[in-house]
């Protein structure tokens, strides 16, 4: 299982939210590129970079942060938060990201996303399934939909998607453990899916549990920033 550290951006700074609430944010570092370099030095190969201001505004806000992170490291960066146009997709790749992360557009404009797949290739995109009570939430988790996560995944797997990350918003930032039951059911229903777990990781036992049920990756944020999980402890997953 691959460990993928997360950097969430508000006002150009590295932050974490609790349960997706913009009013409950903690600032951890003023320079996301420096944080990324620390992750790379520890042996981590991939980075989940999220423009939370962009997710809220509906258009990407922090191009310079993306450019600084990709210039400072050789990490495989997936970047998302407010991507709504093909011009933005092109700029994401031109700015050095390997993968464009999409959420709201996958729910609200499937036809447009399929066009992007045809232009850039489905493997250049990672769909985020953010859930509240198993229903998809969009717009920086501020808007709940009536779309069931299982139907959502099934729809995009028909279009060739084989990698997806799922965040239980109720768990995110609370460090009370990930949604093992939900992920177990997703993997059982879609065994060919590479599922990346996101939200709630609070200790090494959580990572071992996610590995045991078959997750292909785990996004870890607050537990690292709060030094509950040290970068040294992650080494068994990096070899």
Q: Indicate if 21 belongs to the active site.
A: no
- pLDDT at position 19 is 64
Indicate which residue of 51, 53, 130, 211 is catalytic: 130
Residue 47, classified by CB atoms within 10 Å of its CB into exposed (0-12), middle (13-18) or buried (19+), is: buried
Residue 236, classified by CB atoms within 10 Å of its CB into exposed (0-12), middle (13-18) or buried (19+), is: exposed
Indicate which residue of 8, 78, 168, 211 is catalytic: 8
At 112-136, the pLDDT tens digits run 999 999 999 999 999 999 898 889 9
Output the 3-class SS for the chain. CEEEEEEEEECCEEEEEECCEEEEEEEEECCHHHHHHHHHHCCCCEEEEEEHHHHHHCCCCCHHHHHHHHHHCCCEEEEECCCCCHHHHHHHHHCCCCEEEECHHHHHCHHHHHHHHHHHCHHHEEEEEEEECCEEEECCCCEEEEEEHHHHHHHHHCCCCCEEEEEECCCCCCCCCCCHHHHHHHHHHCCCCEEEEECCCCCHHHHHHHHHHCCCEEEECHHHHCCCCCCCCCHHHHC
Give the pLDDT band (50/70/90) at residue 235: very high
Q: Is the pLDDT of residue 86 over 70?
A: yes
Q: Is the pLDDT of residue 23 over 80?
A: no
Above pLDDT 70, what percent of the chain? 95
Q: What is the mean pLDDT of residues 198-205?
A: 92
Q: Is the pLDDT of residue 140 over 60?
A: no
- Higher-pLDDT residue of 239 and 58 is 58
Above pLDDT 90, what percent of the chain? 78
Give the CATH number of domain 2-238: 3.20.20.70
Q: Is the pLDDT of residue 143 over 80?
A: no
Residue ranges per domain, the chain?
A: 2-238
Q: Indicate if 130 belongs to the active site.
A: yes
- pLDDT at position 111 is 97
At 170-196, the pLDDT tens digits run 766 666 799 999 999 999 999 999 999
Give the pLDDT band (50/70/90) at residue 138: confident
Residue 42 contacts by C-beta under 8 Å, 6 or more apart in sequence? Answer: 231, 232, 234, 238
Residue 90 contacts by C-beta under 8 Å, 6 or more apart in sequence? Answer: none
């Amino acid at each position: 299982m691959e460990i993928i550290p997360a950097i969430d951006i508000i006002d150009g700074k590295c932050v974490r939210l609790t349960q997706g609430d913009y009013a409950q944010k903690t600032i951890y570092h003023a320079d996301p590129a420096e944080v990324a370099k620390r992750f790379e030095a520890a042996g981590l190969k991939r980075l989940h970079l999220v423009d939370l201001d962009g997710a809220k505004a509906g258009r990407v806000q922090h191009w310079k942060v993306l450019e600084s992170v990709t210039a400072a490291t050789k990490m495989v960066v997936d970047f998302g938060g407010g991507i709504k146009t093909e011009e933005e997709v092109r700029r994401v790749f031109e700015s050095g990201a390997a993968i464009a992360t999409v959420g709201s557009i996958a729910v609200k404009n499937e036809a447009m996303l399929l066009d992007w797949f045809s232009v850039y290739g489905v493997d250049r995109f990672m769909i985020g399934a953010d859930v509240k009570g198993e229903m998809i939430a969009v717009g920086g988790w501020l808007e709940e939909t009536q779309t069931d996560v299982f139907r959502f995944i099934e729809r995009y797997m028909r279009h060739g998607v084989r990698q997806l990350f799922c965040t239980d918003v109720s768990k995110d930032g609370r460090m009370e453990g990930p949604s093992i039951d939900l992920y177990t059911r997703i993997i059982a229903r879609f065994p060919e899916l590479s599922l990346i777990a996101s939200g709630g990781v609070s200790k090494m036992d959580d990572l071992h549990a996610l590995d045991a049920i078959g997750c292909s990756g785990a996004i870890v944020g607050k537990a690292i920033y709060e030094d509950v999980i040290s970068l040294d402890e992650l080494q068994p997953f990096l070899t």
